[in-house]
Amino acid sequence: MVTTNLSAKKKQKLLFDQIRELLEHARSVAAVQVNSLIVCTNFLIGKYIVEHESRGDVRADYAEKMIDSLSNKLTIEYGQGYSTRNLWLFKKFYLVYCDRAKVRSKSALFSTDKNSHNEINILQTVSAEFKSKMPLSWSHYVFLMGISDDSERSFYEIESAREKWSLRELRRQFNTSLYERIALSRDKKKVRELSKKGLQLSSPADTLKNPYVLEFLGLEEKTSYTETELESAIIDKLGHFLLEMGKGFLFQARQKRITLEDRHYYIDLVFYNRHLKCFVLIDLKTGEIGHDDLGQMQMYVNYFDRFVKDKSENKTIGIILCKKQNKALVEITLPENSSHIFARNYQHYFPSKTQLKKQLQKYIMDVEP
């Protein structure tokens, strides 16, 4: 009798789990559909406004009055969401992303034939093509439209969709100047690729940023702290540190011991990058980097390459994160064209976006043919 009751309970639990899984999936699908519908609708409203203005020589004062009048009428009939500000955003949305209305076959995604109901059909089905072209939420696009540089905006859009960034994460990456910091660590060709392909990891240098921002550690810039304290703070905020490191990083070990004859050496942090298929060793320096630090990292990398990594894995990468980098010393100490050992600065505060933009513009001008 007890066995029968237990069996019945198990069956009920199975039924509950199946229904719960179905409902969770339905909610997820519904959320995606609703988001795509909102984005698509706002895009089309912007399209209609632009087309209305293009039918004649529309003066700025007329356009402003027209949008004010339209806002009042839509608000009366449909409630909030159609303020003057929002209508201007819809218009800007279409103007910024109107190239998305074209498909690879060069036919129009939204037909220009006035007798066609193609646009209504798009709304009814929220076509897979539109969702693939505009995959983010409306809030994401509102934020992205505030980025004036086309290449920078395209980079953040690609990475937001690929990495499934929340709006909060997108804002953080923008505020910490992710685009500029990555671009300043790239050659000319790869800087241009950022706006077309996003961040692609194909070589050790592709993992780098300049500088790394560790504001999440809560360590004050003027406070004296040891390398051990810096390491402990990173471990306590490991999730944040992995986000700052970038794509594909997996934590392996802290204070990894290696032994050469009777002497022990300790590597501060060991990671593995699944995209590059290699180990990444990190040494932390709270002061200025020295030639002995570079020699020690070379030894760590050689040890991993010879005794730790498999034949199927790529060469180990070594990164020295330091408070101050002596570029001349690094260049003369490391072999020419060194591609697996790097020194990079870190800082505890958001970098000046304006200053980084100026550096990037100068860098691009210097390398342009």
What does the pLDDT look like over 176-190, one tens digit per residue? 889 998 888 777 677
Task: Tell me phi and psi for residue 237, to 5 degrees.
Answer: -115, 45
Mean pLDDT by 10 residues, the chain (369 residues): 63 78 77 82 88 69 84 90 93 90 50 54 66 88 95 93 91 89 79 81 81 84 80 92 90 95 94 95 91 93 96 95 85 81 86 81 64
Query: 118-125 and 2-54 are packed helices; what angle lies between their axes, rounded to 10 degrees?
Result: 160
Rounded to whole angstroms, how far apart are CA atoms 101 and 97? 8
Q: Which residues have C-beta within 8 Å of that of residue 41, sequence separation ≥ 6?
A: 123
49-94 pLDDT, tens digit per residue, is 888 887 655 566 777 888 899 999 999 998 888 999 999 999 999 9
**CATH code of the domain occupying 212-350:** 3.40.1350.10
By C-alpha distance, which of 211, 191, 214, 246 is closest to 360?
191
The pLDDT assigned to 223 comes to 64
Q: Residue 185 CB: number of other CB atoms within 10 A?
A: 18
The pLDDT assigned to 215 comes to 85
By C-alpha distance, which of 242, 154, 256 is closest to 198?
154
Segments making up each domain of the chain, as ranges? 2-135, 141-205+351-369, 212-350
The pLDDT assigned to 234 comes to 93
**Cα dihedral value 134, 135, 139, 141, nearest 10:** -40
The pLDDT assigned to 107 comes to 44
Residue position matching structure tokens 């594909």: 248
The pLDDT assigned to 208 comes to 84
- CA quadruple 248, 254, 255, 261: dihedral sign: negative
**Do the beta carbons of residue 300 and residue 280 sit within 8 Å?**
no
- 237's enclosing H/E stretch is none
- DSSP secondary structure string for all residues of 147-203: ---HHHHHHHHHHHHHHT--HHHHHHHHHTTHHHHHHTTS-HHHHHHHHHH-----S
By C-alpha distance, which of 137, 176, 148 is closest to 92?
148
150: left (phi over 0), alpha (psi -120 to 50) or beta: alpha
